[in-house]
Structure 1
């Protein structure tokens, strides 16, 4: 039926939040290590933005994959 939407899992939000927290902490660690190094060895600003975005995307994506694995194990 066109009026019905896809059912959203109850585990979706906790896993996405956990992935975001892991991504934010890893991004903070990356930026801290980057700023702590010498001025000649630091990454350009655009590289920092790209790396932080990639870290956040990958951590949330992996958390979603982990959620799907947990859900498939719970169905058995």
Structure 2
């Protein structure tokens, strides 16, 4: 059995994830506000709103993580 290496956790991880979650929450709020404002045939069904909010949150946190990796790469130079 090969011993596992202990990976160092970046100190920038938490701030970037929190910032991504805040941006995702703001975008989700804007999307829901806009979505509930529409009526008639262009209104999204509730399941579509749920999926879109989940996707917005995922993408915002994922992009914040990618940005963190870029910042860390620039700091190492």
1:9-65 Cα shifts (integer Å, max 9, x gaps): 000000000000000000000000000111332101110111000000000000000
Which consecutive residues of structure 1, in runs of 5 or more, have no partner in the other structure?
none
Which consecutive residues of structure 2, in runs of 5 or more, have no partner in the other structure?
none
What residue is the counterpart of 2:38 in the other structure?
37
What residue is the counterpart of 1:15 in the other structure?
16
Ranges of 4+ aligned residues in structure 1 off by more than 3 Å = 1-4
- Partners of 2:60 and 2:4 lie apart in 1 by 33
The TM-score with structure 2 as length reference comes to 0.91
What RMSD, in angstroms, separates the aligned Cα atoms of the two structures? 1.4
The TM-score with structure 1 as length reference comes to 0.92
What residue is the counterpart of 1:50 in the other structure?
51
Indicate the SS of the match to 2:42: coil
What residue is the counterpart of 1:66 in the other structure?
67
How many residue pairs match? The answer is 76
